[in-house]
């Protein structure tokens, strides 16, 4: 793909990196001790043109119930740094790679230039061990975003390499409190070490689930919030596998934003939150001492994710009617003059439930029995329009699945012909979810949309950001086993 984008030279990519006067998130302290116990709120750092450094390194991490510690890969001292930037203002981040393998940072949901998108070999050279790379961009949209590597993603993301990016508008509405809940499962074994992040059985089905569910690195934490207050609750599904059905018990709540994009507030019954998806709520908290539970109903029994505990004198008593955060500002797709392109999501192989496993049918017609050959290259499990992303695909890139002229309306119908949901994510653009015929949801802007089994979901956007952009399932094992493609905006 470099032939489209022009050669990417390591020299030009590294130029300027040394000039950054960085505020380091890492304190370079001894890494022999395990990370400290966590507060119920993740620490925040301002992100601006002064720049800051994210040092990707292996550090011992004590997770809840984890008597030793796991060898986490994290940015800074503890997982999930929260960076806070301003829309329209320059932000600079210096990535220093202290890992034993190459990495990059992808800024999920940000409509930034292609060269800052963090896909190795596609938008930049990989950042090799000991090297660094400076990301330098102006976030155009306010919202709730996150960032993570785009290589060996199941393992790098699974070990904790991710962070949150909140971008405030100049006139960001003020709430009585602003609470972030980052949901992430961990794959921790009985011996205290990490379990495999990718399994053939999991990758061929809904994904390999973690066995330790955390919110802000804690198990169902109790988070103090002001009583009788209007608070903003930002929920990020940072898990690479798990879908949630998010609800609140004990308080009135409205959905105010989806993937960081404002919606006309509507009452929350529950909200399906696939991997990589975010939802923001306005919540009127209860009276002093009351407990409000954040629950996941996508389970045989509701799973408590966190409890908000109201403290102090009530701040509001009137009717709770949250206002819309902001007006729409994204370019409106021209559906009437666009061509609908269907995109099918299927198993390239019929990888059904282990152990009653069916033979895998490869695209060339050969069949493989997984039981006989668990060492089969898992790259062949999933496909978009019948095409699997090939092994070493970043270096041996297939042709684009779609091409758009700059400014053209992209109008796409995803059809899920498999038994499992796929949260589909497009890089570099925010799309409008127009319709879906299984899981009801309002028309809204998003960067990731859940496509349920047998479902048809239509999206559209103006392809106005030139470059080579990835399109993939955000169940990372599906992505890593073939459910990825790219589209070109030229
Ligand atoms: Cu998928």
Of 311, 343, 378, at which residue does a domain stop?
A: 311
> How many angstroms separate the first and last alpha carbons of the chain?
13
Tell me the CA–centroid distance for residue 473 and ligand 1, in Å. Answer: 5
Tell me the CA–centroid distance for residue 235 and ligand 1, in Å. Answer: 21
Tell me the CA–centroid distance for residue 62 and ligand 1, in Å. Answer: 30
- Same-domain pairing of 152 and 182: no
- Same-domain pairing of 230 and 263: yes
Cα angle 346, 352, 355 (rounded to 5 degrees) comes to 160
Tell me the CA–centroid distance for residue 246 and ligand 1, in Å. Answer: 20
Tell me the CA–centroid distance for residue 289 and ligand 1, in Å. Answer: 42
Q: For 376-429, what is each residue's pLDDT tens digit? A: 445 578 999 988 887 766 667 889 999 999 999 999 999 999 999 999 999 999
d(CA 332, CA 88): 20
| pLDDT at residue 285, rounded to an integer | 98
d(CA 121, CA 326): 37
E-strand stretches of 297-451: 303-311, 340-347, 360-361, 367-368, 382-384, 402-404, 408-416, 422-426, 431-436, 444-446, 448-451
Tell me the CA–centroid distance for residue 344 and ligand 1, in Å. Answer: 12
Tell me the CA–centroid distance for residue 277 and ligand 1, in Å. Answer: 13
Tell me the CA–centroid distance for residue 338 and ligand 1, in Å. Answer: 27
- Same-domain pairing of 186 and 159: no
- Same-domain pairing of 109 and 135: yes
Residue 330 belongs to a domain: no
Residue 90 belongs to a domain: yes
Tell me the CA–centroid distance for residue 57 and ligand 1, in Å. Answer: 28
Tell me the CA–centroid distance for residue 483 and ligand 1, in Å. Answer: 7
Do the strands 143-148 and 132-137 form a parallel or antiparallel pair, or are they unpaired? Answer: unpaired
CB 461 within 8 A of CB 402: no
Buried-state track 280-300, b at ≥16 Cβ within 10 A, e below 16:
bbbbbbbeeeeebbbbbebee
State which residues form the domain around 426.
335-489
d(CA 44, CA 164): 9
| pLDDT at residue 55, rounded to an integer | 97
Residue 36 belongs to a domain: yes
Q: Residue 281: give its domain's CATH number.
A: 2.60.40.420
- Same-domain pairing of 64 and 151: yes
CB 420 within 8 A of CB 380: no
Tell me the CA–centroid distance for residue 367 and ligand 1, in Å. Answer: 22
- Same-domain pairing of 397 and 430: yes
Residue 380 belongs to a domain: yes
Region of residue 16 (left: phi > 0; alpha: psi -120 to 50; beta: else): left
Tell me the CA–centroid distance for residue 237 and ligand 1, in Å. Answer: 15
Tell me the CA–centroid distance for residue 131 and ligand 1, in Å. Answer: 32
CB 482 within 8 A of CB 388: yes
Tell me the CA–centroid distance for residue 476 and ligand 1, in Å. Answer: 8
Of 138, 168, 198, at which residue does a domain stop?
A: 168
Quick one: DSSP state of residue 365? S
Distances (CA, A) of 104 to 108, 134, 214, 392: 12, 10, 25, 16
- Same-domain pairing of 92 and 145: yes
- Same-domain pairing of 122 and 7: yes
Do the strands 177-186 and 230-237 form a parallel or antiparallel pair, or are they unpaired? Answer: parallel
CB 98 within 8 A of CB 104: no
Residue 324 belongs to a domain: no
- Same-domain pairing of 223 and 271: yes
Tell me the CA–centroid distance for residue 422 and ligand 1, in Å. Answer: 4
Quick one: DSSP state of residue 149? -
CB 214 within 8 A of CB 166: no
| pLDDT at residue 321, rounded to an integer | 96
Tell me the CA–centroid distance for residue 479 and ligand 1, in Å. Answer: 7
Tell me the CA–centroid distance for residue 449 and ligand 1, in Å. Answer: 11
Tell me the CA–centroid distance for residue 393 and ligand 1, in Å. Answer: 18
Tell me the CA–centroid distance for residue 474 and ligand 1, in Å. Answer: 6
Tell me the CA–centroid distance for residue 204 and ligand 1, in Å. Answer: 9
| pLDDT at residue 450, rounded to an integer | 98
- Same-domain pairing of 18 and 155: yes
Nearest by Cα to 239 from 213, 201, 204, 200: 213
Number of domains in the chain: 3
| pLDDT at residue 362, rounded to an integer | 62
Residue 232 belongs to a domain: yes
d(CA 484, CA 400): 11
Residue 319 belongs to a domain: no
Tell me the CA–centroid distance for residue 388 and ligand 1, in Å. Answer: 12
Tell me the CA–centroid distance for residue 267 and ligand 1, in Å. Answer: 29
| pLDDT at residue 9, rounded to an integer | 36
Of 249, 279, 311, at which residue does a domain stop?
A: 311
- Same-domain pairing of 304 and 346: no
| pLDDT at residue 391, rounded to an integer | 72
- Same-domain pairing of 137 and 208: no
Helix or strand or coil: residue 280?
A: strand
Tell me the CA–centroid distance for residue 297 and ligand 1, in Å. Answer: 21
Tell me the CA–centroid distance for residue 464 and ligand 1, in Å. Answer: 26
Tell me the CA–centroid distance for residue 450 and ligand 1, in Å. Answer: 9
Tens of pLDDT along the chain (490 residues)?
Answer: 333 333 333 333 333 333 333 333 433 222 334 444 578 999 999 998 899 999 999 999 999 887 778 999 999 888 999 999 999 999 999 999 999 999 999 999 999 999 999 999 999 999 999 999 999 999 999 999 999 999 899 999 999 999 999 999 999 999 999 999 999 999 998 888 899 998 888 888 899 999 999 999 999 999 999 999 999 999 999 999 999 999 999 999 999 999 999 999 999 999 999 999 999 999 999 999 999 999 999 999 999 999 999 999 999 989 999 999 999 999 999 999 999 999 999 987 534 334 344 555 666 665 555 544 443 445 578 999 988 887 766 667 889 999 999 999 999 999 999 999 999 999 999 999 999 999 999 999 999 999 999 999 999 999 999 999 999 999 999 998 889 999 999 9
Tell me the CA–centroid distance for residue 384 and ligand 1, in Å. Answer: 10
Tell me the CA–centroid distance for residue 53 and ligand 1, in Å. Answer: 32
| pLDDT at residue 379, rounded to an integer | 56
Tell me the CA–centroid distance for residue 155 and ligand 1, in Å. Answer: 17
Residue 328 belongs to a domain: no
């Amino acid at each position: 793909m470099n032939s489209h984008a022009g050669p990417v030279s390591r020299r030009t990519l590294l130029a300027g990196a040394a000039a950054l006067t960085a505020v380091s998130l890492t304190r370079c302290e001894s890494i022999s001790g395990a990370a400290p116990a966590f507060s119920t709120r993740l620490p925040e750092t301002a992100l601006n043109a002064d720049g800051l450094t994210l040092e990707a390194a292996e550090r011992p991490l004590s997770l809840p119930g984890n008597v030793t510690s796991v060898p986490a890969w994290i940015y800074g001292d503890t997982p999930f740094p929260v960076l806070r930037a301003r829309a329209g203002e320059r932000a600079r981040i210096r990535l220093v790679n202290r890992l034993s393998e190459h990495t990059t940072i992808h800024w999920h949901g940000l409509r930034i230039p292609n060269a800052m998108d963090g896909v190795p070999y596609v938008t930049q050279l990989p950042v090799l061990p000991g090297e660094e790379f400076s990301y330098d961009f102006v976030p155009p949209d306010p919202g709730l975003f996150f960032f993570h590597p785009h290589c060996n993603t199941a393992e790098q993301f699974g070990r904790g390499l991710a962070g949150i990016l909140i971008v405030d508008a100049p006139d960001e509405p003020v709430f009585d409190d602003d609470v972030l809940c980052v949901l992430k499962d961990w794959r921790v074994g009985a011996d205290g070490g990490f379990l495999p992040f990718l399994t053939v059985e999991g990758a061929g089905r809904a994904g390999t689930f973690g066995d330790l569910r955390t919110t802000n690195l804690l198990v169902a934490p109790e988070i103090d919030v002001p009583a009788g207050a209007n608070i903003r609750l930002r929920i990020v599904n940072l898990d690479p596998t798990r879908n949630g059905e998010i609800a609140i018990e004990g308080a009135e709540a409205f959905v105010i934003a989806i993937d960081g994009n404002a919606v006309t507030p509507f009452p929350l019954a529950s909200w399906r939150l696939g991997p990589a998806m975010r939802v923001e709520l306005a919540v009127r908290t209860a009276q002093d001492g009351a407990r409000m539970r954040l629950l996941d109903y996508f389970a045989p029994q509701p799973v408590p994710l966190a409890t908000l505990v109201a403290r102090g004198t009530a701040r509001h008593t009137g009717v709770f009617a949250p206002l819309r955060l902001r007006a729409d500002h994204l370019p409106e797709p021209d559906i009437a003059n666009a061509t609908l392109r269907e995109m099918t999501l299927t198993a390239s192989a019929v990888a059904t439930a282990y152990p009653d496993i069916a033979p895998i049918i490869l695209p060339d017609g050969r069949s493989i029995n997984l039981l006989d050959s668990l060492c089969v290259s898992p790259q062949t499990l999933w496909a978009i329009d019948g095409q699997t992303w090939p092994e070493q695909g970043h270096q041996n890139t297939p042709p684009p699945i779609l091409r758009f002229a700059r400014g053209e309306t992209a109008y796409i119908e995803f059809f899920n012909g498999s038994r499992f949901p796929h949260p589909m994510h497009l890089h570099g653009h925010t799309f409008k979810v127009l319709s879906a015929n299984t899981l009801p949801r309002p028309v809204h802007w998003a960067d990731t949309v859940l496509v349920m089994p047998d479902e048809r979901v239509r999206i559209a956007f103006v392809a106005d950001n030139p470059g080579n952009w990835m399109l993939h399932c955000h169940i990372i094992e599906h992505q890593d086993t073939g459910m990825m493609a790219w589209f070109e905006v030229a």
